[in-house]
């Protein structure tokens, strides 16, 4: 298929339809409205599909839960305040091993915050933001083509591991336009997961539930979830290295911040500074091994995020003290420029005696 010019939100929606997403439930919030609107236009009338503008994010995620239990591919999207409301449902989805895709086009917080792009939901996304011991796979795209590609991957991962998968974008990625090509055609017939509740026809009745009066039963569920999480860590952790081979300073950045950092690195490279970048693509599982590997080349790391340093902990945990971590961040929806980041890089480079 030839490339088309599309905003990120619409690209996710189109990719979801092509991945066989049958149901979409959402509630309006900026900066992700184009996604819901695209679904209203292009999914709602498709045979076998359903679109509901829910009365709240709470309702939307619980609709996702019901549809996922029915065995279909289902998605919801929102932005930070709405994602907070979805946490109850995400916990239930994780607990009942129900796959789904959740998109967070995050914005400045805390509180109502701003509608400008931010990355301040990193903790919430990577720690399993609701109650209980669980994780969700978190994918962090940094371009419109990646939004499309990762959306497809998110559905596949969700079905493969029976877990909710979150795409953590931001308002800028959602609204900027880039050429994007879609590599899949929407399916003619939808497949239904066999582990589903659709009426006990030709088989014994089934229950999806967690509540129990026997803690040992729930402990067993937790163990089984964590065995799966370990497998995900082993099989699905991804990251991208950019000019790290000779780097004396490695930037660690994800999503749109990685895009900004890339521009900054080009600038400082032109001035002769040996700077590279490690970009976590899965935020959970975090690319611990890749960080460790990078630490064999240099001990100097700079974490750059559009928040107050939520990923710093993960980088430090990965380094286990075998590296020095600096941080630069702009929270609240302020979008730093590549030249600003280039200045920060140069300063740290000099201060740390890397010249």
Partner 1 sequence: MKKVYTRPKSLKPAVFHYCPGCGHSIVHRLIAEVIDELGIQEKVVGVPPPGCSVFAYHYFDVDMLESAHGRGAAVATGMKRANPDCIVFTYQGDGDLAAIGTAETVHAANRGERITAIFINNAVYGMTGGQMAPTTLLEQKTTTTPYGRDLKVEGYPIRMSEIIALTRGAVYVERTAVNSPANIRKTKKAIKKAFQTQIDGLGFALVEVLSPCPTNWKMTPRESWQWIDDVMSKEFPLGLIKDETGNKNAG
Exactly one of 40, 58, 186, 221 binds partner 1 (CB under 8 A); that residue is 58
CB under 8 Å to 132, separation ≥6 — which residues?
Answer: 91, 94, 95
DSSP state of 195: S
The span from the CA of 67 to the CA of 62, in Å, is: 9
55, 185, 188, 245: which one binds partner 1 (CB under 8 A): 55
**How would you classify the pairing of strands 300-305 and 324-329?**
parallel
**Rounded Cα gap, residues 142 and 280, in angstroms:** 11
- How many C-beta atoms surround the C-beta of residue 279 within 10 A? 23
Could you tell me which stretch among 71-79, 111-119, 171-179, 181-189 binds partner 1 (CB under 8 A)?
71-79
Under the binding rule (CB under 8 A), the answer on residue 101 touching partner 1 is: no
Tokens for 202? 């030709």
The distance of closest approach from Cβ of residue 98 to partner 1 in the complex, given in angstroms and rounded to an integer, is: 9
- Answer yes or no whether residue 241 interacts with partner 1 by CB under 8 A: no
Closest by Cα among 167, 32, 18, 7 to 103:
167
- By beta-carbon proximity to partner 1, the closer residue of 129 and 329 is 129
Least Å distance, CB 204 to partner 1, is 8
CB of 43 within 8 A of CB of 186? no
Segment near partner 1 (CB under 8 A), from 20-28, 108-116, 258-266, 308-316?
A: 20-28
Site string for partner 1, 179-218 (x = CB under 8 A): ------------------xxxxxx--xxxxxxx-------
Binding site for partner 1 (CB under 8 A): 22-23, 25, 50, 52, 54-56, 58-60, 62-72, 74, 88-89, 92, 96, 197-202, 205-211
């Amino acid at each position: 298929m030839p490339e088309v010019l599309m905003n990120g939100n619409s690209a996710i929606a189109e990719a979801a339809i092509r991945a066989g997403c049958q149901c979409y439930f959402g509630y309006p919030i900026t900066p992700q409205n184009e996604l819901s609107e695209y679904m209203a236009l292009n999914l709602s009338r498709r045979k076998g599909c359903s679109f509901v503008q829910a009365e709240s994010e709470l309702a939307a995620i619980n609709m996702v839960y019901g549809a996922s239990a029915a065995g279909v591919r289902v998605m919801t999207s929102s932005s930070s305040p709405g994602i907070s409301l979805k946490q109850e449902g995400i916990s239930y989805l994780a607990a009942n091993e129900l796959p789904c895709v959740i998109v967070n086009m995050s914005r400045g917080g805390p509180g109502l915050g701003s509608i400008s792009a931010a990355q301040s939901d990193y903790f919430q996304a990577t720690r399993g933001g609701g109650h209980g011991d669980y994780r969700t796979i978190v994918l962090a795209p940094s371009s419109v083509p990646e939004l499309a590609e990762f959306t497809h991957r998110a559905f596949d991962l969700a079905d493969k591991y029976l877990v909710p998968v979150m795409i953590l974008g931001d308002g800028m990625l959602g609204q900027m336009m880039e050429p994007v090509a879609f590599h899949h055609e929407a399916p003619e017939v939808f497949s239904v997961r066999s582990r589903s509740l659709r009426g006990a026809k030709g088989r014994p009745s089934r229950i999806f539930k967690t509540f129990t009066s026997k803690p040992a039963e729930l402990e067993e569920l937790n163990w089984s979830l964590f065995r799966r999480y370990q497998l995900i860590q082993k099989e699905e952790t991804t990251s991208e290295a950019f000019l790290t081979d000779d780097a004396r300073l490695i930037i660690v950045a994800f999503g749109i911040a990685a895009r900004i950092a890339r521009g900054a690195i080009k600038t400082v490279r032109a001035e002769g500074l040996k700077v590279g970048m490690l970009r976590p693509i899965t935020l959970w599982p975090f690319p611990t091994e890749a960080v460790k590997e990078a630490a064999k080349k240099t001990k100097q790391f700079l974490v750059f995020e559009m928040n107050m340093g939520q990923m710093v902990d993960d980088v430090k945990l990965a380094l286990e003290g075998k590296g020095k971590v600096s941080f630069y961040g702009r929270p609240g929806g302020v979008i730093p420029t590549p030249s600003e980041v280039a200045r920060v890089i140069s300063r740290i480079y000099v201060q740390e005696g890397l010249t």
